[in-house]
A and B are shown apart, each in its own frame.
Chain A
């Protein structure tokens, strides 16, 4: 049995996010997430054309002791007047320099979104967007 411990996981993410501003970028459907990509500059060419960059309000890292995990959550993003096509997004800690802005997370949307001069929005699950489990397998 091996474990990461929740407080350290939480602190690690908090410290990372404190180095910049957590932002969400919508990605084109052709983008294939690759955890080996490190910084926003590595994947910015795959951003969905016409999509907004959302500064994430309410970004929070919390210990979920009942499930032995650390969860990441933020306020549902929404932006009007958008024409784009996307089915996934990434969260980047924007340091002000694309080459040093680490990619924290890449994730899927349940369907391809095709707003036409309309509002693009995401509903984040009640659990948050993602969790890091403490227990190793």
Chain B
């Protein structure tokens, strides 16, 4: 089942400590919810329950980051989601409700970059990448600026991925250029998110977002995420038979008369030691010889 973006919602805020984003319409259990967030806290913020970070362009500060959640029953009745952070550190969020996913982390491949002193107009993004994609995928591209001189672009233009296939059709969800300020860090920000569904499989070598305006922006973060469509994989096990080996026949003989050779044993005689005592010599006494004469018979 191919992935499809069923509904979206956005939120932007100035000097906010919490950011409330409306739940995309029609959430069903099992839908994939993707949250793209820009914030200046300088670390983790309180993301809504059940979301897991899957991509950040600025680790560990997470200035521009992406999170996912597989919707549970409670999400079907959710009205909105709230991100909480430090004073004046939350700026903007985009949420996509995606159908067709099943479970686990959907991120298949990605690329991010942080670029400094970007002289607009210019395209931001990254060249020379090797981003793979499965036969069906959802591409999400986002950028966010950070400038402490209040410099802002005038908007995002063309979103492009370069590969041996043509650039897919992009749908922009948000292009905010003047709504976000992080007073806590004296930063003004612009923020845009777009997505495209594609069945192309060639490796992506570049991604870019054309940004209009004239100032030099201190820092621009951008990211490209490849969200994989579920794909089954049946295979055939290969049958194998064993090959057994018999060793050479044992040698033997039958029917032959043998002539056993005479073997003479060699014996070893151990010489015993002896001890001899002279015994007392006994001499028989002389006895008289008695001659017996038979009586005459009557």
Contact = CB atoms under 8 A, between A and B. Distances in A.
Contacts of B245: 136-137
Nearest to B103: A81
B240 A107 contact: yes
B242 interface: yes
B102 interface: yes
Contacts of B48: none
Given A81-B103, A113-B233, A117-B101, A2 B246 contact: yes
A81 to B, nearest CB: 5
A133 B242 contact: yes
A131 B239 CA distance: 8
Given A120-B233, A135-B244, A81 B239 contact: no
A133 B235 contact: no
Interface residues of A, number: 37
Interface in B186-240: 228-240
Nearest to A123: B236
Contacts of B104: 81, 83, 117
A109 B236 contact: yes
A89 B233 CA distance: 14
A113 B231 CA distance: 10
Most chain B CB atoms below 10 A, which of A82, A117, A122: A117
A129 B239 contact: yes
A12 to B, nearest CB: 13
Contacts of B235: 109-111, 113, 120-123
Contacts of B233: 82, 113-115, 118-121
Contacts of B134: 114, 116
Most chain B CB atoms below 10 A, which of A116, A127, A137: A116
Given A107-B237, A110-B236, A117 B230 contact: yes
A69 interface: yes
A127 B239 contact: yes
A4 B244 contact: yes
B106 interface: yes
Contacts of A81: 102-104
Contacts of A122: 234-237
Contacts of B240: 107, 129-131
Nearest to A113: B233
Contact of B238 (A2, A110, A115): A110
A110 to B, nearest CB: 4
B30 to A, nearest CB: 11
B297 interface: no
A128 interface: yes
Interface in B228-264: 228-246
A133 to B, nearest CB: 6
A87 to B, nearest CB: 8
A117 to B, nearest CB: 4
A135 to B, nearest CB: 7
Given A114-B134, A127-B239, A129-B240, 19 more contacts: A80-B102, A89-B237, A107-B238, A109-B236, A111-B235, A114-B231, A116-B134, A117-B103, A117-B228, A117-B231, A118-B102, A120-B233, A122-B235, A122-B237, A124-B237, A130-B239, A132-B241, A132-B242, A137-B245
Interface of B: 101-104, 106, 108, 134, 228-246
8 contacts: A81-B102, A83-B104, A109-B238, A116-B231, A120-B235, A124-B237, A130-B240, A132-B241
